[in-house]
């Protein structure tokens, strides 16, 4: 007879679901996710700190991108939703 170790096999469990973003949510950009992305390689390397500190407000969502407005006198920007975390 074999003994059960009490460990749970995670290979069969479904992937964890990330909370869906909605219009009006307060967010900030995850520095690690953004710096490892294709978008960061194609953009200016000196990004302002306020996008990583937050909060920004989601104005519009189209596909994988969110239009974000920061609480500063700067233009709204489109950011991949994979790089955004809740504030």
Long-range CB pairs of 39-44, under 8 A, 24+ apart, other chains included: 39/80, 39/83
Q: What local confidence, expressed as pLDDT, does residue 62 receive?
A: 96
pTM metric for this prediction: 0.72
With a cut of 80, say whether residue 36 has pLDDT above it. Answer: yes
Comparing CA positions, the residue from 62, 64, 63, 67 lying closest to residue 78 is: 67
Which tens digits make up the pLDDT trace of 39-50?
A: 888 988 788 999
For 22-86, CATH gives 2.30.30
Q: How confident is the model at residue 78 (pLDDT cuts 50, 70, 90)?
A: very high
The DSSP string of 22-81 is -TT-EEEE-HHHHHTSHHHHHS-S---THHHH--EEEEEEETTEEEEEESSSS--EEEEG
């Amino acid at each position: 007879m074999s003994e059960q170790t009490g460990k749970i096999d995670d290979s069969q469990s479904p992937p964890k679901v990330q909370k869906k973003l909605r219009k009006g949510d307060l967010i900030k950009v995850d520095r690690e996710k953004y710096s490892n992305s294709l978008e960061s390689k194609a953009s200016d390397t000196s990004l302002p700190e306020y996008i990583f500190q937050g909060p920004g407000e989601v104005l519009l969502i189209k596909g994988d991108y969110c239009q974000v407005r920061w609480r500063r006198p700067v233009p709204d920007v489109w950011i991949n939703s994979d790089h955004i975390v809740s504030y």
